[in-house]
Copies of this chain bind each other. A is one copy, B any other.
């Protein structure tokens, strides 16, 4: 890995594997059942790819929806078909886990605008027969949630026992509770916020500009031209990855340690371990993620401002909410700091909702929600167990 530049320029790159052949079940909706987007466009035909775990009970009362983060997908608790790695939240979701698939029917769907089987910018436009690319309409967090609601309708699930998600997944949890309060019994938004901050918009914008600056982006038409903006997307991922960690975690894991040697090489090689690590993060990401999806999904997060839909008063989004909430944050998360979760908790309280709040001591930064955090597991388990009793789930 010791060379100046990212080794991502493979000639004749293969298309992303999931664009046309999703490895998950798909709910397909015809042109007569379009997804109505906030941008004022009807998207159709369209489809949503999902994974499910466990069994729906006779009362249809035990469904749990897991919402994935920016670069996640529906493979929450099974081996990933592209990377071969374990599901991204197997620590939390599975048999005997806090989100217990022996007890609950767990669903996870790829977001609209994504690249793992749900319709997104890499999908073929029915109008042109070509990939949408930048002709794909902008989507919002509310659009993602609306698509999930249509999936639930299709599957015959009138209401959810719980909605759980971290980061952008937590934004969807909050949107679910606001848009469909009667369909959400319990909600766990983790490391999230009710609006994307100026600093977070700024980081996203740099990532998008890195993608668009890559000449292989071809103004979004790279699929047709048989290339991919690998370097630009890798740079975007490297920058974003820093924001998922914390200075403390970086210092503990890497410090100023040199890579494979005791002294600097006085070069632009990946001298420091942190450099080698980041380059690896960038290079592996481009193998599994579509660059245009990265633009669309970051944009959806930027646009998220739940209070704006309620006259600027967040409490109104949750007024009289029947949902019970467990809000969680991490002390070292500077991307979605505790102050953002606290604002949500205040609004929930003001709206009269039932809410618990846990700030978890961790030095792992924003990424903590994906990692081994026993306090998070214990809080989720306790909250869901109590809610299951209240809901009458055995």
Residues of A within 8 A of B (CB): 4-6, 38-40, 134, 137-138, 195-199, 201-203, 205-206, 208-210, 212-215, 219, 231-232, 234-235, 238-239, 242, 245, 247, 250-251, 253-256, 264, 266-268, 270-272, 274-275, 278-279, 282, 295, 299, 302-303, 305, 334
Contacts and interface: CB of A to CB of B under 8 A. Distances in A.
Given A195-B256, A201-B272, A210-B210, 13 more contacts: A4-B212, A5-B212, A6-B209, A199-B251, A202-B238, A202-B275, A203-B239, A205-B270, A206-B235, A206-B278, A208-B268, A213-B235, A235-B235
B206 A238 contact: yes
Name the residue among A213, A256, A267 with the largest chain B CB count within 10 angstroms: A213
Contacts of A196: 256
Taken together, the copies of this chain in the complex come to 2
Name the residue among A205, A238, A253 with the largest chain B CB count within 10 angstroms: A205
Contacts of A279: 205, 209
A311 B6 CA distance: 34
Given A212-B4, A213-B232, A198 B274 contact: yes
A339 to B, nearest CB: 9
A191 to B, nearest CB: 16
A231 B247 CA distance: 28
Contact of A275 (B201, B253, B303): B201
A247 B338 CA distance: 14
Given A5-B213, A206-B242, A239-B239, A201 B256 contact: yes
Main secondary structure of the interface of A (DSSP, over half): helix
Nearest to A195: B256
Contacts of A210: 210, 213, 235
Contacts of A253: 198
A195 to B, nearest CB: 6
17 contacts: A134-B268, A197-B250, A198-B247, A198-B254, A198-B255, A199-B242, A205-B272, A205-B274, A205-B278, A206-B239, A209-B231, A209-B234, A210-B213, A210-B235, A213-B213, A215-B215, A272-B302
A197 B5 contact: no
Contacts of A215: 215
B213 A275 contact: no
A55 to B, nearest CB: 40
A322 to B, nearest CB: 29
